Amino acid sequence: MSSSPLHLNTPLLRTATDYSANGKPLWLKLDALQPSGSFKMRGVSRLCQHEVENGAKEIFCASGGNAGIAAAFAGRALGVPVTIVVPETTSAEVRQSIEATGASVLVHGSVFDEANAYAIKLSEARQAAYVHPFDHPLLWEGHGTLIDEVVASGTRFDCVIVSVGGGGLLAGVVAGLKRNGLSHVPVIAVETEGAASFHESLKAGERITLPGITSIANSLGARQVAQHVFDLPKHHPIESVTVSDAEAVAACLKFADAHRILVEPACGAALAVADVHPGLLSRFENPLVEVCGGIGVSLDKLKVWKERFL
């Protein structure tokens, strides 16, 4: 077993100035090109490696899809069996993708919270390792490698735009900025309406639990963000914004046309900011967008979403 990273150093592209409504070129960090299809490969594989290095013979993880397939890739590389517990909202196609990568898939509960509780219960019963999809310091450390790579390339950027579900990516980006001496660089945290647990918590002044997820961006569907993530704006400049499902889908379609890469609406949320909130970006010259990817997308799904929203 190798302790070298399992994730890839992904490409960084520059858009044309006329790509978006804010009229400035964007840096795009293409984590949609990770082996597992999303940024989750960074942190989840890091945590899986840690568990196996410390004696784990089996791994359990709860996921709506992207963390699950990242854990499946990591387990295959590390030579340990992996079981992914998904909620009923996870599509058959995503379940099949996880199974095809070599993991076992169990369906439990109508929402992530229920799947997660069941994964913890099973891991304890089998004395196996449990890998959380977004709430663990080693996950954040792993996700922060995307900032390490951008900095190492010599690229200058003055804000980072990220999608937020449970908040693991946001926490990782902040950690990556901090360790590179960039704690002054603001992060724009984006959610879709109907999955905006971070945005609503900041408005309420306390960490709240959404009654349900109504957005199609179901990989942003954590009803509550991690406590660490809720506390981040006290220590780092973070601006929370939302976009609609329609705006996220429009951004996915535009991105596919321009760059020939498919991404989920959860990723489209971050890509939509430069069009939906151009004024927010007006004070920045070199925005960096984390193109987080996602496996819950296909040409057929994009067609359905386009017909529904646009």
* Whole-number Cα distances in Å, 231 to 204, 236, 238, 240, 308: 13, 9, 11, 13, 36
200-251 pLDDT, tens per residue? 999 999 999 999 889 999 888 789 999 999 999 999 999 999 999 999 999 9
103-143 pLDDT, tens per residue? 999 999 988 889 999 999 999 999 999 999 999 999 999 99
240-252 pLDDT, tens per residue? 999 999 999 999 9
Nearest to 64 by CA among 296, 246, 262, 242: 296
Going from the N-terminus, what domains does the chain have, and what CATH number goes with each?
A: 12-39+137-309 (3.40.50.1100), 40-131 (3.40.50.1100)
Note the pLDDT of residue 145: 98
Reported confidence tier of residue 1, pLDDT bands at 50, 70, 90: very low
Q: State the pairing for strand pair 59-62/238-243.
A: unpaired
Q: Alpha-carbon distance 186 to 294, whole Å?
A: 24
147-181 pLDDT, tens per residue? 999 999 999 999 999 999 999 999 999 999 999 99
Note the pLDDT of residue 177: 98
